[in-house]
A and B are shown apart, each in its own frame.
Chain A
Amino acid sequence: MNSDRLDILIENNRNIFSPGEIVRGHAHVRVDAPQEVVAAEASILWYTEGAGDQDSGLIFFQRLQADKGFDARSPIPFQAELPHMPWSYDGRLIKIRWAVRVRVFLQGGKETGGELKFILRPKEHLPASGPEGSRPTVVETEEYVEEEDTEAS
C-alpha cells in the first residue's frame, strides 16, 4: 500500500508570531513516484471555526505545476508578512486559526494535503502559560481517492 509523507517546516521551528513578522519555510512531499505529482500548492491563511459558517482570508498562495518545471522532489517554499489582524482566537462560538496549508495533486485526480497551524498574537497578549511545543511534528498522510475513482476500480 502506498503512503505519502508531507513535511511542513517553518523557519526556526517557530509556531508563534507577532503581527508584521515574516512567516517563511518550505514543505516537502515524499511520494513513491514523484513523476505522478501534477501540481503542488502552498498557502498561508486564516480561517474561522466554530458555530458560524467558515470565513477565511488568504495572504499567500503559490501553485507549482509539473508541466511548468516543478519537480516533486524540490521543496515547496512559502513566505508572507503577517498582517496586524486577525489574531488567533479561541472563543466560545468563534475560533480563528492561522495555518500554512499545502496540497499536492497527483495523476488520476488524487490529492493529498496537510496544514500546520501557528499562532498570530502580539507578544504582550499571549497567555502566560503559552502553547506547548515549538517543533512541528511530521506525520504520515494516507493518500485518498475521490469517490468516482474508487467506484471505477
Chain B
Amino acid sequence: MPITELKPSRSRSSQGCVVLFFGLFTAFSLVSMAFLIQGVMVRQSKGSQIVAFSVVSAFIIIGTGGIYFTLRGRGKSPEALQATYSASGASLLPRVKIGRGQTLDHKLLPDSSAGGRVAALAIFALLWNGLIAVPIYQVVTNWSRGQPSYFLGLFMIPFLLVGILLVGLLVREILIATGVGRTDVEISAFPLRPGRSFEVVFSQHGNLSVNSLQVKLICEERATYRVGTDTRTSTEKVFEEALFSREAFEITRWSPLIEKIPARIPPDAMHSFKSKNNQVVWKIWMEGDIARWPDFERSFTLCVTQMAGEQ
C-alpha cells in the first residue's frame, strides 16, 4: 500500500483564535468581577450578589481553563495528545444486557423496556403539552372573546400537531406495553464468534392474534457526526437474515409461542464495535404484526467478538 501524506497536525492560526476567544472571555469576566467587587451590585439583595459572583466566577474558570487547555496542546500532534491524555484499554465492545437463561445458558435483555419507553414518552409529552398549553389557551380565549389572534394561532399549529402526535405515540406505546406480553430471548453462547453457530430460544407471551411474526439476525452500522451545533446519527443495516417467520396464528396467556432456532454469525462478519462516534451492532430483532393492535418491535443486542489467541 502506498504511503499517504498527512495534513499538518495543528494550525497556529486556529490555536491563536481559540486562545484569543478565551482570553477576551476571561478579560470580560474579570472586568465584571471588578465591578461587582467595587459594589456596583450593593443595592441588590445578598442572594443576587451571591448568584452574580458565582456566575462571574464560573465564567473566569471557563475562560482560564480554555486558555490553559489550548496552550497545553500547543505544538503537539494529535497522536502526542492522545498518548498523554487519553485512557488506554477502553472497551470497544457495546454494553450488552445479559442474564442467566433457563433453557439456554444466557438470557438477553431487551435494549429498551416497554415500561421505560412509556415513561419516557409520558414525561416528554407532558412537558411539551404543558409548555404549549398556555399559548394555546390564550388563542382559544381570544377566539371566544371575538378577538382572534391569527398570527399566534398560525404559529402554534405545528407545535399543537407535535403535541397531538406525542399523545398518539404514548397511547400506542401503552397499548403495546399492556397488550403485547413480554418477549424472552436466550442464546447458547456468549459472546458469539464469527463463523460459529449458536441456538436461539425465544418466547412471546400475551393474548394476541398474530398476522405475522418475524425474528431476524441483523447487523447495523451507526455513525454519529456533528453539523454545526447539531449532533446527528445515521444508521444503516448491513446484514439481515431471517431466523423465524410465521403467519396467522394465536398466542394465548396459557400457551405462549416458544421456538428454538439455529443461527450463525457469517464467517467473514465484522465483530461488534463501539467507539465514541461509530458502532457496529449485532442484534436479534423481532417484529410482530398484531390484528387490531399496533405493530411492535423488540431488539436484543448481541456481542460478536474473537478473543486473543482464538482461531
Point out residues on A near B: beta carbons under 8 Å.
6-8, 15, 19-20, 41, 43, 45, 48, 50-58, 61, 63, 83-87, 89, 91-94, 96, 99, 101, 103, 109, 111, 113-118, 122-125, 127, 131, 133, 136-139, 141-142, 144, 146-148
Contacts and interface: CB of A to CB of B under 8 A. Distances in A.
B9 A91 contact: no
Interface in B205-235: 221-226, 234-235
A103 B77 contact: yes
Given A55-B275, A84-B306, A43 B79 contact: yes
Contacts of B277: 48, 52-55
Contacts of A125: 194-195, 267-268
Nearest to A7: B3
Contact of B225 (A53, A101, A118, A133): A53
A62 to B, nearest CB: 9
Contact of A147 (B13, B80, B88, B279): B13
A55 B276 contact: yes
B130 to A, nearest CB: 35
A54 B268 CA distance: 24
B1 A117 contact: yes
24 contacts: A43-B83, A48-B278, A52-B223, A58-B88, A84-B306, A84-B309, A86-B92, A86-B273, A91-B270, A92-B221, A93-B222, A93-B236, A94-B279, A99-B4, A109-B12, A116-B4, A117-B1, A124-B267, A131-B1, A141-B3, A142-B5, A146-B8, A146-B11, A147-B13
A51 B224 CA distance: 7
Given A52-B278, A58-B83, A124 B2 contact: no
A55 B278 contact: yes
Contacts of A114: 3-6
B226 A92 contact: no
Interface string B5-32: 1101101110000000000000000000
Contacts of B238: 91-92
Contacts of A147: 11-13
A139 B271 contact: no
B296 to A, nearest CB: 27
Given A58-B88, A136-B3, A51 B225 contact: yes
A41 B79 CA distance: 9
B135 to A, nearest CB: 37
A115 B3 contact: yes
Given A51-B234, A58-B79, A61-B80, A146 B6 contact: no
Interface of B: 1-6, 8-9, 11-13, 77-80, 82-83, 86, 88, 90, 92-93, 194-195, 221-226, 234-236, 238, 267-268, 270-271, 273, 275-280, 305-311
Given A41-B77, A61-B80, A116-B1, A85 B305 contact: yes
A91 B1 contact: no
Nearest to B86: A58
**Residue of A41, A94, A99 most packed against chain B (CB within 10 A):** A94
A84 to B, nearest CB: 4
Contacts of B13: 146-148
A122 B306 contact: yes
Contacts of A52: 222-225, 234, 277-278
Contact of B1 (A85, A136, A141): A136
